[in-house]
Structure formats: structure tokens, C-alpha cells
Amino acid sequence: MSVKYDQKLCLGGVSLHIHYFNVTYRCNNRCYFCASDSPSEFLPDLTVDEIRKSIAHSGTGPGDMAVVNGGEPTVHPHLREILEVLVDTGAYVVLFTNGRKLADPAYAMSVLRCGLSRISVPLYGYDATTHDDCTGIGGSWHETVEGLHNVFRWRESMGTPEVELKTLITDRTIGYLPRAISTILRMFPSVDRFVLSGLIQSDTALASHAAVDLGNPQLLEQLNRAVMEALQIGSRLILDSVPLCVLNPDVRIQWLFSRSKRSCARGRGQTSESYFVYADAKFPEGIKERDWWNISHCPHEQCRLHSVCRMNPRYFRSPIAASGIRPIVEV
């Protein structure tokens, strides 16, 4: 594409179509906060033919975004064929992966050669001990880091894909979050986007008590330090399900300023044609939800930043996670 998908959101008068394919519920990690509550042994993978039918039904094409996620997509035996099918539609194709299988250079090259637009990889700590404690798999940090090195080597020669790194705010990561962000961004200084994400309160996350009490001043200070660390290093910071109201005013203003330099106000120029389609083994044809981009899931509609806050509705399943949220009456 001639423009990045995020830039497309600001061109005005465009419709936004996102097609999200949960291709498998299987995973090679055992993250204690896993967002996927469905047992993999009871759910088959999406097949390539099912994905083709979903594409035909939804009309996926140029200008759309197609997201491939799981579970862990790289454990799907036909991932590369899936990616090729989606790339052939002309859509902006995003792969979410823990990156472990990309540690194999041959496998990484075969995936990247499909023509991805963006790849998104999470890191949950600043070293093997902290990261592997979250994933439940020894050696996962080293495999993910090596996988990322392979991705950046490929991009250096080919120019694509965009690389997005992310980390989560959980009860375990909050204590070292500023250090983790500093380490990750200094390890991979040419990353295109860095996402700091609040936790989706899945049944697994709730059972593990992984939520962070942002009403706790000490934990809140760690979050503010983490956001400032990312901004000072100069990353393109995306806040996803991080309530802006819990940030200190100076930190919030700096993030809003950094955001204003790279994008426009959320929802500008959007039309009622915008929609989101979700497909998995239970709903292979896909479930369509219209106007997804114009919906803010924060309950405080009177907040001045209500339209800016990107809050997943499942974030609010935990009273602890929602404890520090309050409406902002002045920006």
C-alpha cells in the first residue's frame, strides 16, 4: 500500500473494514493471563477453505485490514497459505504472533516472504526470567528475541513489514514496566510502533488475579513512569485499553501531543459503512459488527477524552482494573 493503514484512518471520508481471523486456539505458550478461554482440544483450526469463504462473504479487498491471530497462528500447519490468500486480496495483512517459531530463520523467511504488511510481537519482561515467568515456558524469551532479530534482518533488506512490539500491564509486569519498556525499545530501536496494552479480563486472567489496581498510587506511578519512558525514547507509542484518566496530567498531555503529531482525531471522516468481522472455528463465515471504530467502550461518556480512549469492553470485567477510572472534565 502507498500509505500505512494508520494514516488511512485520517484521510477522511473512508470506510474502515477490519477482518479478524482467529485461525487456531492452540498455542505453544502458557501465559497465565491468556485472553483465549476456549479449550483448544474442543475447537478445530480454521481451514484455508473456510477463510476463502469468509473473504468472499465479507468482500475483503484493497483498503481493508486483515488480522491473523490465535491462539498462536504459527502453530497452524497452513499459516503461510492463509497469509498468501489474504495478501492476494490486496488487504493490509497483520500477523499477531509470539514470535517463537520465527527463531528458525528458514521458517521466518517463509512467513515474511508471503508479503505481510505488519507483524506484531509481545514481550512481557526485560529478560528471560521475567518474560518466561509470564509465558510459562522456559526459553521463550530467547526464541522470541531471536525471532525478532530475524524479522528485522529481513526488513532491512526488503523494506517490509512494519514491526510492532507490545507489552501488557499485569500484576506481575507493573513492578518492572518502565525497565521492560526501556530494555525492549533499546534492543529494537527501529521498531515502527510500540503498544502498551491493558489486560483483557478473560476468565483465565480473572482466575489468575492478573488485574492491576490502578487506584493504587504506587502502581499508578509505575504506569506513568513507563509511559514517560517510551515517550522519552521516542517510540511511536500506542495506548490500548490504558485509561487516559489514570495518567498524570503532564504525562497525558505529552502522550496526546505525540499522538496529534502522527494522526488525526479519532473517527474523523468515518462513515456508517465501517465494520469489524470476526471469524474463528465457531463462526467460520464471520460475525459482522458495524460502526466498531466510532464506539468507545469506556462507561464514562461525559469524559472529555471518551472518543480518544481505546478501551476493550472486556477490560471492565474486573472491578479491580476499573477502580481508578474517573471522567476527565478538563484536558
Secondary structure (DSSP) of 87-153: HHTT-EEEEE---GGGGSHHHHHHHHTT--SEEEEE--SSSHHHHHHHHS-TTHHHHHHHHHHHHHH
What is the rounded CA–CA span in Å between residue 239 and residue 10? 18
- In degrees and rounded to multiples of 5, residue 277 shows phi and psi of -120, 125
Residue 150 lies in a domain: yes
Residue 201 lies in a domain: yes
Residue 285 lies in a domain: yes
CATH of the domain at 18: 3.20.20.70
Per-residue pLDDT of 151-194, as tens digits, reads 999 999 998 999 999 999 999 999 999 999 999 999 999 999 99
Q: What ranges in 5-104 are assigned the alpha helix state H?
A: 5-8, 48-58, 79-88
User: What are the Cα distances from residue 293, in Å, to 14, 16, 155, 159?
Assistant: 12, 8, 30, 29
Residue 324 lies in a domain: no
Parallel/antiparallel/unpaired status of strands 275-279 and 17-22: parallel
Residue 137 lies in a domain: yes
Please count the structural domains in the chain.
1
User: What pLDDT sits at residue 313?
Assistant: 80
Residue 330 lies in a domain: no
Residue 276 lies in a domain: yes
What is the rounded CA–CA span in Å between residue 26 and residue 156? 31
What is the rounded CA–CA span in Å between residue 228 and residue 237? 10
List the grid coordinates of 63.
483498503
User: What are the Cα distances from residue 221, in Å, to 174, 175, 218, 237, 273?
Assistant: 10, 10, 5, 18, 41
What is the rounded CA–CA span in Å between residue 265 and residue 271? 14
What is the rounded CA–CA span in Å between residue 98 and residue 118? 14
User: What pLDDT sits at residue 270?
Assistant: 43
Residue 331 lies in a domain: no
Sign of CA dihedral 4, 18, 32, 221: positive
pLDDT in tens, the chain (331 residues): 334 555 444 434 445 789 999 999 999 999 999 988 766 666 899 999 999 999 999 889 999 999 999 999 999 999 999 999 999 999 999 999 999 999 999 999 999 999 999 999 999 999 999 999 999 999 999 999 999 999 999 999 998 999 999 999 999 999 999 999 999 999 999 999 999 999 999 999 999 999 999 889 999 999 999 999 999 998 799 999 999 999 999 999 999 998 876 654 344 344 446 788 999 998 999 988 765 555 667 888 888 888 788 888 888 888 888 888 888 887 6
User: What pLDDT sits at residue 264?
Assistant: 45
- Domain holding 298, by residue range, is 5-317
Q: What is the CA radius of gyration of the chain?
A: 19
